[in-house]
Structure 1
Amino acid sequence: MHHSRPYNAEPPPAALAGLPITPLDTFYGRNHGTVPELDPATWRLTVDGMLDRPLTLSLDELRATFPERTVVATLQCAGNRRAGLTRVRDIPGEDPWGPGATSTASWTGVRLADVLAHAGLRPGAAHIAFTAPDVNEQGGPREPYAGSVPTAKATSGEVLLAWAMNGRPLPLVHGAPLRVVVPGWIGARSVKWLERVTAQREPSAGYFQAVAYRVLPPEADPGTAGPGDGISLGPVALNSAILRPGDGERLHAGPVEVTGYAYAGDDREVARVDVSLDDGRTWAQAGLDRPDGSWAWQHWRLTLDLPEGRSAITVRAWDTTGAAQPEHACHLWNPKGYANNSWDRITVTCGA
């Protein structure tokens, strides 16, 4: 638990190990304000902006009008593994997320593309913006949460307006009655408690699109950063982490199975995972599960023969473009602590 109000929590790494689908009570929670309690009976979705036929839909109307779809997708917070960056240099005011700010679910809803086509999306609408009622309480202006994605992503078939998660009604803390699910992109773009979808020429002007969730230069002051500064985060960077054994764990010497996850955002897949016992001088290739769909993480495992004493275990992944994770967190440090996808490292101690 990083905060109770607003609720921000991640599972211990071992709770994610070996599970292609994350149980609802294990799925990480990331919020910027108090969780709003919306009445599904009176809730309405407004679809407006650069459209021929703006819409106002109840949940029942949404379900009755459009075909139901299910997508298995991993969501990952942009601050996942921030704790590794804080070991390089302090990041004041930001939660030290470990490797558990990522989870995978089976999401059910309707394609955003179908809704926009029904509303008559006009040429020139380059971005689709999302607005929710939860008000920011964690730095920055007190305004409702908002964000956007380019229309090319919004109209791809995998982006959903979802009302169910793992075959059950969407839990309140995960966005009930309706949320956006943008597979392959940082979790901040999968807006919860969705109330408005707007087709527009420019990206959302909301704080969490224009100012936050941007990688600033190391010398920048986040307190004075303005709209458009830094690099806007979208597709998730290639990442991997060790889930079991845990960092600092004491084990028996001999064969030990090491397991974890690897994930390549956007439309990439993980091609290979390597594990090292000598900080990258030599590597052994881990066994890699097939993903449960095109937008899901992959779990990996490798049995290592660990000697008595201290052992440092390192993991890196490669994706289908031939890209690999960068070696050190010090090369990635930024003032908000986003997008740490450096090699993951743990230390264990083995006895007889």
Structure 2
Amino acid sequence: MPALRGPTTYDNEPPRNPLLKVNAKVPFNAETPRSALIDAYVTSVDMFYKRNHGPIPVLDDSDRYFVTVGGLVQRHLAISMDDIRMLPKYTIVATLQCAGNRRTAMSKKRTVKGVGWDIGALGNAVWGGARLSDVLKLAKVPEYTAVTEAGGRHVEFTSVDVCKEENGGPYKASIPLLQATSPEADVLIAYEMNGKVLSRDHGYPLRVVVPGTIGARSVKWLDKIEVNANECQGFFMQKDYKMFPPTVDWDNIKWPSRRPLMDFPVNCAICSLEDVSSAEWGKKVIIRGYAFSGGGRGIERVDVSVDGGKTWVEARRYQKEGVPYVSDTEDCDKWAWVLFELQTEIHPPTDIIVKAVDSAANVQPEKVETIWNLRGVLNNSWHVVHVNNAAKKISSNL
């Protein structure tokens, strides 16, 4: 068992970078400032967004820490850190994103419920650990298994933390068994982030990383792995992180009518423009930002308009500097964001707009009103930056 269960008070929180944009102090939720998002392809650990539902657990990776593997499997296990480290180590570059990223734009149209995220509730990191499929093999669950002999179809992850939404119980979530047992899905039981031991804020000593899927499924501070017949019945699978049409409100909502969110849709945002001085207007400026899509789908192109959508120009895409980005090549990090850049002139007043298209030809919707939902999740409408000549400032319709 873990050396210490999740605390119920906030007396032992880890230190945080003061440059983070704090959206809630208790529990602590903070995002990366816009300009810092594009400082580097890999987001530093201290500037990576923090999404929490309770106090940060205090655990160690000594002999007292075990992750149990059970449920509808042939062999039940208690796995130590040494056991995990003995499995083949894999590293993946993957973007994690809160489902509420860019929620503020929805709240400007109509009230939504949730943390008021700008465009920085995401980050790109190098994750290291064992593949979940290798862990499940130890429990006699073969690769590429959709259902076990005992009827297991879903893999549930349980954390150590304490959440008010779970009535003081731990955070939990699940993914389909086929995804969990497929090596190509790259689901990790991670113990490293950017080549270093996980920090407390990011799940030390073990966390799940489910690439291409909303961050809510990448459970931190891992305690249990269970193979079950049904998907997780916890709050964050059944009564949160679901997307409803604009007609649904809190009076007529029916939670069982919608599936839990999994893959995130194609999205992009401008990070380089917040304030533009008058000296830059009419001269060349560099428009930079990120683009990504879920499920391992690459970014086919990023379109930029500096005249409110009348004309469009394709931006340059890259991941590693100096290497042209082409999805589905050995140089492509398929789970990671793509950075884009365009040098152009702007002439206020105008709207600067970006929209992305992924490798499956999925296109971002134009207006946030068409995808508004009461939880403010998965806002992937066009990202618009308003250039106001009179105010000589940049404001954003995120």
Shorter-chain TM-score bucket reads over 0.9
- Distance across 2 between alignment mates of 1:47 and 1:169: 22
1:202 is displaced (CA, Å) by 0.7
Structure 1 unaligned blocks of 5 or more: none
- Asked if the contact 2:245–2:371 (Cα under 8 Å) also holds between the matched residues in 1, the reply is no
- Asked if the contact 1:18–1:299 (Cα under 8 Å) also holds between the matched residues in 2, the reply is no
Structure 2 letter corresponding to 1:22? T
- Distance across 2 between alignment mates of 1:250 and 1:151: 53
Structure 1 letter corresponding to 2:370? H
What corresponds to 1:185 in structure 2? 213
CA separation of 1:335/1:34 partners in 2, compared to 1, >3 Å: closer, same or farther? same
What are the within-5 Å matches in structure 2 for residues 180-219 of structure 1?
180-219=208-247
What corresponds to 1:296 in structure 2? 336
1:325 is displaced (CA, Å) by 0.3
2:369 to 321, 330, 352: 330
What corresponds to 2:349 in structure 1? 310
Structure 2 letter corresponding to 1:14? S
What corresponds to 2:178 in structure 1? 152
- Asked if the contact 1:250–1:349 (Cα under 8 Å) also holds between the matched residues in 2, the reply is no
1:87 is displaced (CA, Å) by 1.3
Is 1:273 the counterpart of 2:297? The answer is no
Structure 2 letter corresponding to 1:256? V
Structure 2 letter corresponding to 1:53? R
What corresponds to 2:260 in structure 1? 232
Structure 2 letter corresponding to 1:266? G
Structure 2 letter corresponding to 1:52? Q
- Size of the aligned set, in residue pairs, is 346
What are the within-5 Å matches in structure 2 for residues 50-89 of structure 1?
50-64=72-86, 66-89=87-110
What corresponds to 1:120 in structure 2? 140
- Distance across 1 between alignment mates of 2:285 and 2:189: 42
What corresponds to 1:132 in structure 2? 159
What corresponds to 1:27 in structure 2? 48
What corresponds to 1:142 in structure 2? 168
Is 1:104 the counterpart of 2:139? The answer is no
SS in 2 for 1:195: strand
1:15-51 CA-to-partner distances (Å, cap 9, x unmatched) read 0115210011110010111111112212210000111
- Distance across 2 between alignment mates of 1:71 and 1:98: 26
SS in 1 for 2:160: strand
What corresponds to 1:250 in structure 2? 277
1:332 is displaced (CA, Å) by 0.7
CA separation of 1:182/1:347 partners in 2, compared to 1, >3 Å: closer, same or farther? same
SS in 2 for 1:2: strand
Structure 2 unaligned blocks of 5 or more: 1-21, 142-147, 319-324, 393-398
CA separation of 1:249/1:90 partners in 2, compared to 1, >3 Å: closer, same or farther? farther
Structure 1 letter corresponding to 2:50? G
SS in 2 for 1:144: coil
Structure 2 letter corresponding to 1:145? Y
- Distance across 2 between alignment mates of 1:140 and 1:220: 24
- Asked if the contact 2:246–2:370 (Cα under 8 Å) also holds between the matched residues in 1, the reply is no
CA separation of 1:87/1:200 partners in 2, compared to 1, >3 Å: closer, same or farther? same
CA separation of 1:222/1:45 partners in 2, compared to 1, >3 Å: closer, same or farther? farther
Question: What percent of counterpart residues are identical?
Answer: 39
CA separation of 1:36/1:229 partners in 2, compared to 1, >3 Å: closer, same or farther? farther
Which is worse superposed, 289-298 or 155-164?
A: 289-298
- Distance across 2 between alignment mates of 1:148 and 1:22: 26
What corresponds to 1:167 in structure 2? 195
1:10 to 23, 31, 55: 31
Structure 2 letter corresponding to 1:90? T
1:210 is displaced (CA, Å) by 1.4
Structure 1 letter corresponding to 2:297? R
Structure 1 letter corresponding to 2:355? R
SS in 2 for 1:261: strand
1:322 is displaced (CA, Å) by 1.2
Q: TM-score, normalised by structure 1?
A: 0.94
As a proportion of its length, which structure holds more strand? 1
1:312 is displaced (CA, Å) by 1.5
